[in-house]
Amino acid sequence: MSTHGVALASGAHGFLSPTGVEVAFLLVGLVTLGAAVLTVTTRQLVHAALWLVVALGGLAVEYLLLTAEFVAWVQVLIYVGSVVVLLLFGLMLTKAPIGRSPDADSGNRPVAIAVAGAAAVALVWVVVDAFRRTWIDLRGPVQGSTEVSGEMLFRYWVLPFEALSVLLLAALVGAIVLSRRGKENEAEEPRRKEEAR
Amino acid sequence: MHLIYPAILAALLFCTGLYGVLARRNAILVLMSVELMLNAVNLNLVAFDVWLRDELHAGQALTLFTIAIAAAEIGIGLAIVLLVHRNRGTADLDRLRDLREDETTDGTTGATDREQKAEAAS
């Protein structure tokens, strides 16, 4: 049934006649990709975090275009809302320089370009070769609304969901344990520093 | 919608993140690049879930789990980076070289070290 459906779908779509959704997806994708490239290449550390906001927001719009509404809003809430704020806090707490820093890239930049370029060529080649004649059918009922997501999450995926909450608790406790000083260390540390001098 | 649009976008985003992980010097910028790679995987999961019209919506469930795990990872990672910065005074990955092999000697000590480790392991 599936091969028949795919054949029908490929007959109904033209390769070079993009629909409105495709055009929107392409434009937002270009913005997202440009913001991602700026994130990894800019020399101003705080600007990298702000470009990351653009990239993650663009991805949220892509999720909306793919009719995954709930995932899109979770993306906005968690990534744009909290992860980027955490990253900015981290940048400020490690006293990252404001303005251009000349040593933002390490010495192995050519190797990184080579590896990333080779990976990009290989992945794009394989993906294009595999999914040249595949179309997503976006018509019909919305597949990622809150109702659908809640039903699948709490009907089929309850056990992983609960395990996830345990994992989040473990991460919370771990972060607290890592970031507070031990009491015995606190008393010894100044003495150790003076000895080191 | 053609499936290769999200697939190619995800592949290129992943490679951008890969470049960032390899080329960046600041540990927090490396964490940002890891986030980009995780987001590329999320886009793939959502696109294939919508394409396959999965009854269980495994792709979207996995996307939600990946987002939660990425949030946990960024919390722990930033705590570690802050600890390193507090102890060493730097968050530069190039300067954290305590575990490197000693390159100043002519290599014989490294070989003997390795032999000793092999003996200790056996």
- Please tell me whether residues A191 and A163 are part of one structural domain: yes
The reported pLDDT for the residue numbered A101 is: 77
Between B65 and A20, residue with greater pLDDT: B65
A12 at B interface, C-beta within 8 A: no
- Please tell me whether residues A131 and A54 are part of one structural domain: yes
Between B79 and A191, residue with greater pLDDT: B79
pLDDT digits (tens, 9 = 90+) for B48-107: 999 998 888 899 999 999 999 999 999 999 999 999 898 888 888 888 888 887 766 555
- Please tell me whether residues A138 and A84 are part of one structural domain: yes
CATH of B4-100, one of 1.10.287.3510, 3.30.360.10, 1.10.10.10, 1.10.472.10: 1.10.287.3510
- Please tell me whether residues A46 and A117 are part of one structural domain: yes
**A135 has which bridge partners?**
B2
- Please tell me whether residues A190 and A165 are part of one structural domain: yes
- Please tell me whether residues A130 and A188 are part of one structural domain: no
- Cα B106 to the center of its chain, rounded Å: 33
- Pick from A38-52, A104-118, A183-197: least confident: A183-197
Measured between beta carbons, which residues in chain A are less than 8 angstroms from residue B78?
86-87, 89-90, 175
The residue-averaged pLDDT of B18-41 equals: 93
Q: Please tell me the distance from the alpha carbon of residue A157 to that of residue A152, in angstroms, as a whole number.
A: 7
- Please tell me whether residues A90 and A165 are part of one structural domain: no
Q: Please tell me the distance from the alpha carbon of residue A128 to that of residue B3, in angstroms, as a whole number.
A: 9
In terms of CA atoms, which chain A residue is nearest residue B1? Answer: A136
Q: With bands split at pLDDT 50, 70 and 90, how would you rate the model's confidence at A8?
A: very low
A114 at B interface, C-beta within 8 A: no
Structural domain boundaries enclosing A181: 157-197
What would you measure as the largest C-alpha separation in chain A, in angstroms? 79
Instruction: Name the domain count of chain A.
Output: 2
CA angle A104, A110, A113 (to 5 degrees): 90
Say yes or no for a CB contact (<8 Å) between B47 and A66.
yes
Instruction: State percent of chain B over pLDDT 90.
Output: 56
A28 at B interface, C-beta within 8 A: no
Q: Tell me the average pLDDT of chain B.
A: 85
The residue-averaged pLDDT of A91-95 equals: 87
Residue B31, CB half-sphere, CA atoms under 13 Å: how many? 28
- Please tell me whether residues A92 and A173 are part of one structural domain: no
Structural tokens at position A10 = 């490929």
Whether residue B113 has pLDDT greater than 70: no
- Please tell me whether residues A58 and A94 are part of one structural domain: yes
Q: How many CB pairs under 8 A join A and B?
A: 250
